[in-house]
Amino acid sequence: MLFANIDDGYLEGLLRGYRAGVLASSDYANLCQCESIDDMKMHLASTDYGNFLQNEPSPISTTTLAEKCTVCGASPLARTPADATA
């Protein structure tokens, strides 16, 4: 058991951390109940997405919201192949 993840333990730890940051079904249920994009912004601030929308002007467009969520969710996974080969 001492050498269980000697080769892939770092990458497995990273992926487990990313998985812990994925929104849960309760988060999605709360997002469905939001009445405005500002409500969504407030709810997302309490998750691992953090305050990634805090610098955006108050009437946030849906395209900006989708773009920022995609970048925030995909950017950690973009560097995973580099971590796997290091």
80, pLDDT greater than 60: yes
7-35 pLDDT, tens digit each: 667 777 777 777 777 788 888 898 899 89
CA angle 16, 43, 80 (to 5 degrees): 25
86, pLDDT greater than 60: no
- Residue 48's pLDDT band, with cuts at 50, 70 and 90, is confident
Give domain limits for the chain: 9-85
Give the C-alpha separation, 11 to 80, whole Å.
Answer: 8
**pLDDT the model gives residue 65:** 79
Output 24 or 82, whichever has higher pLDDT.
24
